[in-house]
Structure 1
Amino acid sequence: MENKLLINNANTVFEKKDDKYFGYKSRFGDIVIGGAYSYRFVVHYAKTNQDVVIIPGDVNTITTPVCTTLEERLWKPEKSAQARRDEIVEQAKADVEELITDNTLDRAVYSVTNRTKRTVVVLIKGEYSGKVYAKGIAKAAPSDCFNVHIGTAIALRRALGLVVPDEYLNAPQPTEVRVGDVVRGKYEESYYRYEGRLFGDSYEEQIKEIEGGKFRYMSGDYDFIDSADLTVIDDSHEEVG
């Protein structure tokens, strides 16, 4: 009865099925009834509208404004983009560990990372036969920061035929530069022009330490924190060759 009252009083209602949210009702007329929406859209919509209810696949269970424990953490407006990304990375690590542990078949999971192509490939192979039963691929978009843990979770779920959570596909980009990050920086023009030749205007380095007002790199070079224009391109925090 209480749930029915919540639905009746809500301005907008979505019903969650797998990784999609379907328009259930809207007093504003701005949601297509029966139309499919992503988690990202629903969160943005719920942040800008009042009395939004989600039915997570069961009319007897209602959560507002979002549906799962992770999503509830991501929802909180006090969470920064970096904090949300950190949580998603930890969720991806736990997800991979759980999925591999639950694998009771006579099969092994292999993961191959290609940082140059910003790709993770997961193979499900026969432990003794070596036969490939399934393959999943995750590739970071050119504008996205690569993270091997998120990529592995996506590729593993695809190999297993499981739904990929929307938060993996739409994780916020990092907003902080940290030790272990791989960053891209820009040269000043005087540094990359020599005898009239153009050598390229950017470089990639891994952060070794941050101290004394400087980002110090594995190569031994450094940038001043106050003037550096860096973009984090890999925050996996694993050894990068």
Structure 2
Amino acid sequence: MESVNQTAIDSASTVFEKVGEDYIGSKSRFGDILIGAPYSEAFVKAYANERKDVLVIPQTIEYTAFLHNEEMKKVATQGQAPIVSAQARRDEIVEQAKADVEKRITNNALDRVVYFVLNRIKRTVVALIKGEYSGKVYAKGIAKAAPNDCFNVHIGKAIALRRALCLAVPDEYLNAPQPTEVRVGDVIEVTLDSGEIEKKPVISLKAGSLNVHLPGRIIQYPSHYVKIINDSGEEVGGE
């Protein structure tokens, strides 16, 4: 089990080691935990509820975990399932959605055309199936991101198109893990120390750090609270 434990550590975003009554930070992918610093159990539980894939290692090296990812839960309880991080799983679902949409469009009737109407403010995607020459709308499907979910246009397109075609929507589209890594092209919501909230696209990431460069401002991530609200990786049109 030792090699599986190391795999769990490598895959976890944050790791705490329980020493006495304290939880010592031993790994932080986000950079918001001080390595070697002690934290209380209450802090660790609250932190784990906010973040994904948090492991706690007692001195016995028997795992206990506050985990959101089902595959990591299996490993933590002596299971042999492969570990897939929340971010990696979301990436897989996005690629699945892209392929799904391409397949549905390719297999569509010759006299039908699929149009997508995107609204980044309302966080919606509408799929319209129209006659190629008549312009008549034969079917319509709508996808809307939940208030606390990160919007992704590719997942939205797959959901909306399947609804327009009266096809079942896979559970993974509706319950995809939230992103855990800030990337260039993401749109993030930043709560500043003043309480002001800014929503900006990430135009670059400084090499070797977690600083997020925004148009006209450099945010010291994650010292400011940052939430990824759109990880489509492309400009989303509409108002």
Bucket of the pairwise TM-score, normalised by the shorter protein:
0.5 to 0.7
Q: Which runs of 5+ in 2 are unaligned?
A: 1-69
2:92 aligns with 87
Report how many aligned residue pairs link the two structures.
Answer: 162
1:24 aligns with none
Q: Return the offset for 1:225.
A: 2.7
Give distance in 2, aligned partners of 1:226 and 1:132.
46
Give distance in 2, aligned partners of 1:142 and 1:226.
22
Letter in 1 for 2:233: H
Give distance in 1, aligned partners of 2:160 and 2:115.
11
Computing the radius of gyration from Cα coordinates, the structure with the larger value is 1
1:232 aligns with 2:237: no
* Secondary structure of 1:230's aligned partner: strand
Per-residue CA distance 1:107-160 (angstroms, 9 max, x = gap): 100001000000000000000111100000000000000000000000000000
Distance 1:240 1:157, change over 3 A: closer
Q: Which runs of 5+ in 1 are unaligned?
A: 1-42, 51-74, 193-200
1:211 aligns with 2:216: no
Alignment of 1:104-143 (within 5 A): 104-143=109-148
Alignment of 1:146-161 (within 5 A): 146-161=151-166
Does the 8 A contact of 2:119 with 2:236 survive in 1?
A: no
Give distance in 2, aligned partners of 1:130 and 1:106.
10
Q: Return the offset for 1:104.
A: 2.5
Q: Return the offset for 1:228.
A: 2.9
Give distance in 2, aligned partners of 1:164 and 1:215.
35
Q: Cα RMSD over matched residues?
A: 2.3
Q: Return the offset for 1:224.
A: 1.3
218, 235, 239: which is aligned to 1:222?
A: 218
Does the 8 A contact of 2:127 with 2:157 survive in 1?
A: yes
Distance 1:134 1:240, change over 3 A: closer
Give distance in 2, aligned partners of 1:93 and 1:110.
15
Query: What's the % identity of the aligned pairs?
Result: 62
Letter in 1 for 2:119: N
